[in-house]
Structures are given as C-alpha cells and as structure tokens.
Structure 1
C-alpha cells in the first residue's frame, strides 16, 4: 500500500521536477498565495478541471509526443508539470488545489500497451499528489476498452493510491458508456464512491464539417461529445441502473443543460424513435440534478442559467488549466450576481470538497 510519507520520500523527479525544486516550489507557493474570502470567511478554492501529462509515458506510445500533447494549442507545453511554475500559476489564479486529470489518449491502443500507460499514469499521479497533498488531488486513468482491467485499476486507485475517482472521455473509441459492457465499471465506481470526471475528446465523425476556421472540432465538437455522453447515460437507463453514480461533466456539461427541456418532449413527439422497453424513472431533464458540472462556461449569464437548471450545489470550479480558456476562474465566480455568498463558497470549493472528500 502506498503511504503518503513513503511516496513523498520517493517522489524526486516526479512531473519533470527535481526534489530540490519541489521543496523550493512549496515554499514559493505558500509565500505568494493570498487567501480567498467570501463573506469574511476563508474559502479553500478547488479547481476540478486541470490537466497534466507525465513524460515517462512517452516511450509507451512509441515516443510519439503528438499522441499525448498538441504543440499547436497554447499552454500545452505546461501539461508537463514543473511544480514551481504550476504553483505560481495557481497562486495567480487564486486556486488552492487542482484536481489533476489526464485526457485519455490510449483508448484505441491494444490492451497490454494501454494498461501499461494507465499503470504508469496512476503511479505518477499518486506520487505527485502524495508529495503535495495541500495543492494536488488526482483522478485516475482507466483502460476502459478492457472493462475488467478498468475495474481493477479503479479499485487500486481508490483503495491504495489515494486518488479521487477517474477521468474518462466521452466514449471509448466510439462505444458509448451506456453499453452494458461498461456496467461493471460503473458498479465498482458506485461501490467505491469514486467520482467520474467526463472530459470530451471530440466527435471525429464530423471532422469534414468541422474543417475550416474556428477550431470547430473543439469549439463545437467537445461540448457535443459531452452532450451525447450524458444523453446516452440518461436515455439508455444507465443512471437509473446506477443511481448513486457520481459524475462531473466538463465544460458545464456541454450543450445539454442549455437545452435540457427538449429532452423531456422527444419521446412524446416521436415514440417510434424511443425504446418502449426503457421506462425512465424521471423526466430526462431531472437527471441533471444528480450530476455535477464545472464552471468553465465563461459568462456570468451562463452560470446563472446552469444554476437555474441544476442548482448551485451541483456546480464546481473548473479552469481547464494549463489551456488558457479561463485564467481567472475564481474572479469569474465572484462576478456572478446570481450566486449568494454561501453559493459562491460552494462553487469555489465547498461543493468539490464534499463530493471528493477533500479536507477544508
């Protein structure tokens, strides 16, 4: 079993750092960080949507760095964490803790190679978080194309590695999470209380239509991927089968919360396009109230609408760092007049702390 004390001793060199730099970084981060106050009360800010990549995984994908990181995207080089730089960035953002995740790039790989990548990622994530438990928590990687392995990996991550759940894509090489072959993974997640962070990987089936200006494969494709993933979990009855599943959807849940009421009318308008053998226990839109959504939806009006749809208790802080989508995530929440002080404190960290069992 990995103990935080033993891992800290072994953590030199983790995440592109030397041990000396880690100690220096910790002192630097503590000295420069200013507390966030809401209504005169100190709030621990927790960013649930922050990314990292471990260089040690490169040889396992044939040294193909492009398979892990796109140099064409601003901030991508900082996914290789240098702890001092990351702490400085977090301090500038007023973020006390990041819950780190790795976007899955291994779903299309064969079983053994993917399993080796996942094993390395989870070991390195556990080491990094144990070395800096006040600044980092982590989501595990899973070999979801092999659900039997994913069950074992999730149990190891939760019971022995101190991770908070798992980061997953929007599908597994085109296979939706509602497919019964994934049921053992969701059952294990329920049993362990593991949080599943759904981060999209786009919809390559629409690549031809996304071509041209505007980076539409990401701008539209990523939120669409999450929208499809959540809709499948709802309409195929997966959330009825696993009602205690804990899910965070990146980017505010894609397009679904903005147009959820349409889901309530679909099967009434066209029963022929719905499965009579699937009788949902609630209206489709009501399932959103049991999911969590990050705050990476930019404007205060977008937060107001999400809050009206799902409740402020279901919103958690998200930045997508180091990608510069939202470099002032805490200020974004303070600008939301629809949230009272108690709700702002919840979004900034309290909701995530309860969900992920993080001490405040």
Structure 2
C-alpha cells in the first residue's frame, strides 16, 4: 500500500446537482413536453409518482452547498466530484437552446463548487445531439474551472435526425479534445431505449441503467474509439453496468465473428483503460468488478443524494472486504491521482 493512497482524502466521484436556471431556460419549449411524455412512457406512472416526492425532499442537498457539505461530513466524504443531474441533458434541444443549456450548466456547477473549492470539483455538460458544438462547450466547461463533462449513453437526433451513439464519427473531434486536455468524461445514462418493456417495478432504472452503460461502453470499445484515443479519461457510472462482469461474451464474439472485429484487441483489454465507480449495490459484484478491471481503475461513487445511490459509500466499500491496499485505492487514492490532488 502506498503512503499516498492511505493518506488520500475520501473522494466521491458520483454526486449530483440541480440547477434551476437550466430548467427555467427550457420551460415552455415544445420539445420539453415531448421529452417528458417519453419519460412517462419509459418509466411508467408508478415510478414517476415515487420519483417526484423523492427528488423534492432532496432539493436542499442538490442545491445548497452548505447542506451538501454537512451530508458529506456525515458520510465521511472529504471531496465530491459534482455533476449536473442527468435530467438536465435536454438532448431534444436545438442548437441555440442546447448551447444555452450547457453554458448555464457549466457556469452553475462552477459557481456551486466555488463555495467550497477545496472540497467540491465539478463536471459540466456538452450537447451530444449536436456533435459540432461539443468541443466548444467542453472548452467552456474547462474555462470555468471544471474538470470535464458528464454525458449520457447516446442522444436522440434533434428534429428526427439520426441518433448519435458514442461510436458516431461526428464525435471524433470531441474525443480528441477531451484526450488532448485531459478532461474527465463521466458516462451516466439517462433513460433506456427499451421503453415500455421496462415501465413497471422501476425496471427502467434497475435494468435500464446497467443495460445502457453496457451498450455505450461496447460502442466505444468495438468501434475503435478507444484505439484512436487511448488517453481518454472516462469514468463509467454504476460500475459500468453489465459489461465488466460479462465481458467474456464480448471477447468470444471478437475472436469468432469478423463483424465484431471493429477494435484492435480483445474487448476485455480496454476495461483497464477506463475508470468505474463502485456503486454496484453488492459486495460480491464489487469484488468481481475489481478483479476484472483492477483496483486502480475503480473509484468511490454514491449517486448522491438520490434513492438509488447510497448514503454510506464507505460502508458499502468496507462490505467488500478488500485488502487494505485496494480499499484505500478505491476510497480515494485513485481519484486523488486522477484529479491531481496528490
């Protein structure tokens, strides 16, 4: 165990922020109503009836830096990497509105983190639905002092145009700029394209989120994005979903199917180039994740302060009964190095 890892602060890389100014900017736009109707269809009325009050009760923790810091103290967390709530993506927005949404998100996140700059670091947004705007808005986020940006697993094309997957060649300049600047990119899906099949029992989240993570990471791997940009610093939320623990199937396809040979090496080899948060809700799965990708690629995550996260990320990490070296690496050593806090 290195002295740096054992002495590193406890760092939570998966924590969220609500930005009222973003919602004010999109209010009244026709696309917002359509997006909300899609959300109802995908999640189902029972899930939305629970989610509304749940989020409402957590608004102080999502907006007030002092309340956030008190909650961090209670959980034993020294530092948070704060990203906008994924409902702020608004990938339905046209170019001008999308630019405004992301600009407001970048500035609002920076202002929130500036209230405790030694403890709060931030990520902004880019409009995946408009790849030609992504580089400029990544630069805008970095200019605000943010550490990078948060993205979803894909974006529906605006105005009925074709969907933008993370493998889309139009995103090439964005990946190149993120690699060049050392910007962090947090992959955090919002919504699942399985739609009404998951509209009961909150399957839209419990099954949908891990599925979207696995699909998005597979697009990055099989398309060769990670071959072309080996220096990308990408963090996959929710432990990367189903992919890390089922990567053997991808490797097998790569070996036996010529149509699965879009990447230069076996898919499993790319997992060691990515980072994953620890939020998998099962100590056995966390140990399996670490066994697959390496203890140096896993970072503490809580999904603060939502109900599908954990209020005790350190307790969840301790439950995995890791060797001390691995425990401290995940607790904060890896993130401290990634954020240049050591």
Is TM (by shorter chain) over 0.5?
yes
Give 3-state SS (helix, strand or coil) of 2:81's partner. strand
Provide closer, same or farther for how the CA distance between residues 89 and 63 of structure 1 changes in structure 2, counting only shifts above 3 A. Answer: farther
Corresponding residue for 1:255? 242
CA distance in 2, matches of 1:288, 1:268: 17
CA distance in 2, matches of 1:246, 1:269: 30
Does 1 or 2 have the higher relative contact order (CA < 8 Å, sep 6+)? Answer: 2
Match 1:45 to one of 10, 13, 33:
10
Question: After superposition, where does 1:1-360 map in structure 2 within 5 Å?
Answer: 42-62=7-27, 72-73=50-51, 75-77=54-56, 78-79=58-59, 80-102=62-84, 103=86, 104-158=88-142, 160-173=143-156, 174-204=163-193, 206-212=194-200, 214-271=201-258, 274=259, 278=262, 280-324=263-307, 325-337=309-321, 339-357=322-340, 359-360=341-342
Asked if the contact 1:101–1:139 (Cα under 8 Å) also holds between the matched residues in 2, the reply is yes
CA distance in 2, matches of 1:40, 1:253: 23
Asked if the contact 1:189–1:195 (Cα under 8 Å) also holds between the matched residues in 2, the reply is yes
CA distance in 2, matches of 1:39, 1:285: 29
Corresponding residue for 2:44? none
Give 3-state SS (helix, strand or coil) of 1:201's partner. coil
Provide closer, same or farther for how the CA distance between residues 116 and 302 of structure 1 changes in structure 2, counting only shifts above 3 A. Answer: same
- Displacement of 1:75 after TM fit? 4.3
Corresponding residue for 1:31? none
Asked if the contact 1:39–1:341 (Cα under 8 Å) also holds between the matched residues in 2, the reply is no
Provide closer, same or farther for how the CA distance between residues 96 and 169 of structure 1 changes in structure 2, counting only shifts above 3 A. Answer: same
CA distance in 2, matches of 1:262, 1:40: 34
Asked if the contact 1:44–1:350 (Cα under 8 Å) also holds between the matched residues in 2, the reply is yes
Asked if the contact 1:202–1:224 (Cα under 8 Å) also holds between the matched residues in 2, the reply is no
- Displacement of 1:275 after TM fit? 5.7
Q: Where do 5+ consecutive residues of structure 1 fail to align?
A: 1-37
Corresponding residue for 1:21? none
Asked if the contact 1:75–1:322 (Cα under 8 Å) also holds between the matched residues in 2, the reply is no
Computed over aligned residues only, the root mean square deviation of the Cα atoms, in angstroms, reads: 2.4
Q: Where do 5+ consecutive residues of structure 2 fail to align?
A: 40-47, 157-162
Corresponding residue for 1:32? none
CA distance in 1, matches of 2:217, 2:177: 19
Asked if the contact 1:140–1:167 (Cα under 8 Å) also holds between the matched residues in 2, the reply is yes
Residues 288-344 of structure 1: CA deviation (Å, up to 9, x unaligned): 01100000011221111011100000000100011032111011112222x222221
- Displacement of 1:355 after TM fit? 1.2
CA distance in 2, matches of 1:270, 1:55: 48
Provide closer, same or farther for how the CA distance between residues 134 and 237 of structure 1 changes in structure 2, counting only shifts above 3 A. Answer: same
- Displacement of 1:211 after TM fit? 2.6
Residues 90-147 of structure 1: CA deviation (Å, up to 9, x unaligned): 1111111111111143211111111111111111111222221122100111122222
The range that moved more, 317-326 or 67-76, is: 67-76
- Displacement of 1:83 after TM fit? 2.2
Q: State TM-score, norm by structure 2.
A: 0.85
**Pairs aligned (count):** 314
Q: State TM-score, norm by structure 1.
A: 0.81
